[in-house]
Amino acid sequence: MRFLFKTSYAQDIRLAKHGGHRFWYGLLGLALLAAPWVAPEYWLAQLTFVLIYAIAGLGVMLLAGFTGQFSMGHAAFLGAGAYTQAVLTAMGWPFFLSLACGAVLSAAIGVLVGLPALRVKGIYLGIATLAFGFIVEEGFARWESVTGGNAGKSVAAPQLFGQALESTEAFYFLCLGLALVCTLGILNLLRSPTGRAFVAIRDSEISAQSMGIHLAYYKTLAFALSAALAGVAGALYAHKMQFISPDQFSILQSIDLLLLVVIGGLGSVHGAFLGAMFLILMPQCIALAKDWLPPVIGQAPGLQALVYGAVLITFVLFEPMGLYGRWLKIRTWLQLFPFYRQGMFKRQKSFQKSDRLK
What Cα–Cα distance (Å) separates residue 325 from each residue in 129, 242, 263, 268, 340? 28, 36, 10, 9, 17
| First and final C-alpha spacing in the chain | 42
Instruction: Say which DSSP state 64 is in.
Output: I
Q: What is the pTM of this model?
A: 0.87
Residue 269 identity: V
The reported pLDDT for the residue numbered 333 is 75
Sequence-distant (≥ 6) Cβ neighbours of residue 167 within 8 angstroms: none
Helix/strand/coil for 243: strand
The reported pLDDT for the residue numbered 339 is 65
CB 289 within 8 A of CB 295: no
pLDDT truncated to tens, each residue of the chain (358 aa)?
444 444 444 455 566 666 667 778 888 889 888 888 988 888 899 999 999 999 999 999 998 888 888 888 888 999 999 999 999 988 888 888 999 999 999 999 988 888 877 777 777 788 888 888 888 888 888 888 888 888 888 888 888 777 777 788 888 999 999 999 999 999 999 888 998 999 888 888 888 888 888 888 898 899 999 999 999 999 999 989 888 888 888 888 888 888 889 888 888 888 899 999 988 888 888 777 777 777 767 676 777 777 877 888 888 788 778 888 888 888 777 777 666 666 665 555 544 444 443 3
The reported pLDDT for the residue numbered 232 is 93
CB 89 within 8 A of CB 155: yes
The reported pLDDT for the residue numbered 9 is 44
Spatial distance between the Cα atoms of 149 and 124, rounded to a whole number of angstroms: 30
CB-count burial class (<10 Å; 0-12, 13-18, 19+) for 341:
exposed
- Pick left, alpha or beta for residue 122 (phi over 0 → left; psi -120 to 50 → alpha; otherwise beta): left
Using alpha carbons, select from 64, 209, 78, 51 the residue that is nearest to residue 122. 64
